[in-house]
Amino acid sequence: MFSSNYCKTAVFSTAAVVLFVSGCSTLPSDTGPQVVGTYQRQEDSPGEVIAPQPGDDPDLTLRDFYQASAVPGNDHEVARGFLTDTARGAWDASGDVMVVDSLDIVTAPANKQSSKDNERAFTVRGTIIGRLKSGGAYVPENEGYEAVIYMKMQDDRWRVDGLPAGVVMERNEMRNHYAPQSLYFYKQSNDALVPDRRWLYKGGEESESTLITLLMEGPSASIAPATRRAAGENVTYAGYDREQGYQFEGLVDLDAHDRTLFAAQLVWTLSKAGHTGPFKVKADGGDLVEGMDSLSVDDFADYNPEESSTALSKLYALNEGNLLEVDDGVAEPVQSTLGSSGDVQSVDVADSGLVAAVRRKSNNDFSLQIGELDGQLQDAVDGPTLARPTFEYNGQAAWTVVDGDRIVRVVRSKTTGRISKSEVDARSIDDIEGEISVIRLSHSGARVAMVIDGHVYIAAVAQSSSGDKRIVNAREVGPEVSGSALSLDWNMDGSLIVGTSSSQSPVWRIEQDGSSASTMPTGNITAPVVAVASSPTKLFITDSHAMLELPSTVMDETNWREVSGLQGRRSSPIVSN
């Protein structure tokens, strides 16, 4: 008889493809989402549950086992139905779920085979593209996976008799059976809600309670250093009551302001997950927010995590060293020296009215200037190379990169207009080879995206008690574009739009957690795509010929259009934020 001691797993580095594709399945997936590992199977749940079938070949049964592994309920009860009695008790399905691009199943070498007709061995290979943590957080990876799986005939059916510990799931099964939802936590300064993307199993029920339970557990490890809890760790979710609504305990010591923050966090998390309010919420027997029996997003409009997506973002363009404002199909120079000097190399504009511009002083000398868009600018940073500046959430501070490796933060005082600067602690990315050519802060300022030597990285932005900024938890996303990325910007939903030098796939969308990367319509684009920008309604790019646009909500269009007012004038897009 085969023993599980024969099983082995090898992990090695290799190239990966992360683009998720749709697949079909016979597993049920038409009920509300549940977090990985918390799904409780309903005895009367509809849908077909797959199981080993008499007459099926062992390799087909093994594929069905991996398909069944996507159902987490009752310690992967459906998948355990594919195991022999011995393996059922021995298999350790705890820990992270390994997500692979696909699985290649082939007959194992002769030295792994048994002489018995009722036993078989197979080699399973794939690429680990990510892991699902217990709370549903996805962490991208890029490693090879290999294991020997032993099969045995039992009860006229082939079953798995020996396998390594851990759950392996193909990416299409993840897409079929899990759905992304965002929890929201506050940035350390409490001035913005930050999305924390999680993957929840679709086959569960009471998804509101699942979201709230995860909310009470706190942010995922990747974004935790940039966020804080609105309520202390002693606050607990006591469940849902039809009459009283959602009930919490342990908020007695919270003042009115913190209660409001917690209420806004709760309501926006539920609302963004598709649950319509108003919501009844009680804390220690009383109203969570005094005088408010029910809560809705309208009560907390100031905390809208996508506030900028409903605001009127202005479009600008950089053309031949001059900054133009584009409005209603007309492009006119801005009313300052930025509109006529011809020396502007890159620029960012904040909704606050500030502008940060890199200007050429001489052939090998550039200066970052900051100030009012229609006023005088002040020199802040000089250097032989300066990356395009990017503003923080409040529009009073901007970042740039000096000489490809030194990240500098420039702050302009609201009251005095004085300029101060400091270096951002970026020691955590010292081991990443290459120069930083592009840097963009997210809309909340809690994350930063970078292009380093053509690769795309996302990191969290932590803040010390003194206000100093620090980059932590950097990870590469979208390995499909590795070496070819030239430009990027944040979309309003937290994903990235990335321009590349690839003629086959010049523009990509990469999800915030790195779980997916997909090519965008190529149509009439001619690589390279050297600049990109995103507004609430449109996407903008600059290819080798022109500045083009595409509606951000219509992805079935294949052709981008020249921006009205800039036809025949190759320009770079800038969207105020």
- End of a domain among 153, 178, 203? 178
The two structure tokens encoding residue 483 = 């070496």
In terms of Cβ atoms closer than 10 Å to its own Cβ (0-12, 13-18, 19+), residue 303 is buried
If you write DSSP's letter for every residue of 491-511 in order, what string do you get? -TTS-EEEEES-SS--EEEE-
Asked whether residue 268 falls in the same domain as residue 328, the answer is: no
> Which one-letter DSSP state was computed for residue 109?
P
**What domain count does the chain have?**
3
> In this structure, are residues 516 and 494 in contact, taking their beta carbons and an 8 Å threshold?
no
Which residue range(s) make up the domain with 194?
179-306
Return the axis-axis angle of helices 73-80 and 58-68, rounded to nearest 10°. 170
Q: CA dist 110 to 114, 367, 403, Å?
A: 8, 68, 57
Q: CA–CA separation, 91 vs 210, rounded Å?
A: 27
What single letter denotes the amino acid at residue 359?
A: R
Asked whether residue 57 falls in the same domain as residue 194, the answer is: no
Peptide bond into 333 cis (omega under 30): no
Per DSSP bridges, beta strands 344-349 and 330-333 are unpaired
- End of a domain among 123, 148, 178? 178
Asked whether residue 479 falls in the same domain as residue 434, the answer is: yes
Asked whether residue 478 falls in the same domain as residue 334, the answer is: yes
Q: CA–CA separation, 132 vs 367, rounded Å?
A: 44
Asked whether residue 364 falls in the same domain as residue 477, the answer is: yes
Using DSSP's 3-state secondary structure scheme, residue 375 falls into coil
Asked whether residue 283 falls in the same domain as residue 340, the answer is: no
What is the chain's pLDDT, residue by residue, as a tens digit (577 residues)?
344 333 333 433 333 323 333 333 223 333 344 444 433 333 334 345 689 999 999 999 999 999 999 999 999 999 999 999 999 999 999 999 999 999 999 999 999 999 999 999 999 999 999 999 989 999 999 999 999 999 999 999 999 999 999 999 999 999 999 999 999 999 998 889 999 999 999 976 668 999 999 999 999 999 999 999 888 888 999 999 988 999 999 999 999 999 999 999 999 999 999 998 899 999 999 999 999 999 999 999 999 998 654 456 899 999 999 999 999 999 999 999 999 999 999 999 999 899 999 999 988 899 999 999 999 999 999 999 999 999 999 899 999 999 999 999 999 999 999 999 999 999 999 999 999 999 999 999 999 999 999 999 999 999 998 889 999 999 999 999 999 999 999 999 999 999 999 999 999 999 999 999 999 999 899 999 999 999 999 999 999 999 999 998 776 778 999 999 999 999 999 999 8
Asked whether residue 125 falls in the same domain as residue 202, the answer is: no
> Which one-letter DSSP state was computed for residue 480?
G
Asked whether residue 272 falls in the same domain as residue 322, the answer is: no
What single letter denotes the amino acid at residue 252?
A: V
Q: CA–CA separation, 444 vs 186, rounded Å?
A: 9
Q: CA–CA separation, 369 vs 382, rounded Å?
A: 9
Asked whether residue 325 falls in the same domain as residue 453, the answer is: yes
Asked whether residue 89 falls in the same domain as residue 24, the answer is: yes
- End of a domain among 119, 148, 178? 178
Asked whether residue 336 falls in the same domain as residue 299, the answer is: no
Using DSSP's 3-state secondary structure scheme, residue 447 falls into strand
SS3 for 242-258, per residue?
A: CCCEEEEECCCCCCHHH
Q: CA–CA separation, 175 vs 27, rounded Å?
A: 12
Residue 554: CATH number of its domain = 2.120.10.30
Asked whether residue 231 falls in the same domain as residue 350, the answer is: no
